Amino acid sequence: MNIKNQKTKEIVLIAVLVALAVILSYVDKIISQAAFPFLPTAKVGLANIVIIFSLYKLDFKKTFLLVIMKSLLAGLVLGNPVTFIISFFATTISFLGMFFARKVLKDKTSAVGISVIGGVLHIVIQLVVVSLIYSLGEVVISYGGILLLVSLVTSIIIGLISNKIINYLTIK
């Protein structure tokens, strides 16, 4: 395959993965509202399946591009400026944490461990950004504890699903 065809294939793959991640973000919003009506900001994290898959199958640059594009598009479609800022920082730092954990831990952990690291980082960064924007103090810490517990459970589930997909699909 020549270089031009390879580049086209890579662009199409990233576009499909971004579209899938945005669709999963939308589905996630619907499921999360039903599953966690008492936690309006809690999310299952379905789009992380695509991000974790990409961490295992693509290089840093392509996966980072996917994360940025997913954040921008999902933020534009599903959020408002404040939720976009909170989500963008949390998603970006969560991705970087998952990437470095994947590099450092290599074969010592599965996608479940990587997902849990990403989920915890995502919640912690969200709480930091929210506390900087709104100055809510102890309320954020109390709410954060509940979100961390939910995140732990959902991150394990997302990691298990990701493991299955990573082992099943290959990228040529």
Distance of CA 4 to the CA centre of its chain: 30
Distances (CA, A) of 158 to 5, 89, 167: 33, 20, 14
118-131 mean pLDDT: 92
CA distance 21 to 41: 18
Q: Considering the chain, what percentage of its residues have pLDDT values greater than 70?
A: 98
Question: What single-letter amino acid sits at 12?
Answer: V
Chain mean position to CA 18? 12
Give residue 1's pLDDT: 62
CA-CA distance, 102 to 124, in Å (whole number)? Answer: 19
Average pLDDT over residues 37-44: 86
Q: Where do the domains of the chain lie, and which CATH numbers do they carry?
A: 3-168 (1.10.1760.20)
Neighbours of 134 (CB within 10 A): 11
CA distances from residue 50 to 57, 83, 131 in whole angstroms, order as listed:
10, 21, 29
Q: What band does 145 get if pLDDT is binned at 50, 70 and 90?
A: confident
Residue 44 pLDDT > 70: yes
User: How far is CA 111 from each of CA 47, 71, 171, rounded to the nearest angstrom?
Assistant: 14, 21, 17
Q: What is the pLDDT of residues 56-104, one digit of tens each?
A: 999 999 999 999 999 999 988 888 888 899 999 999 999 999 999 999 9
Rounded mean pLDDT of the chain?
92
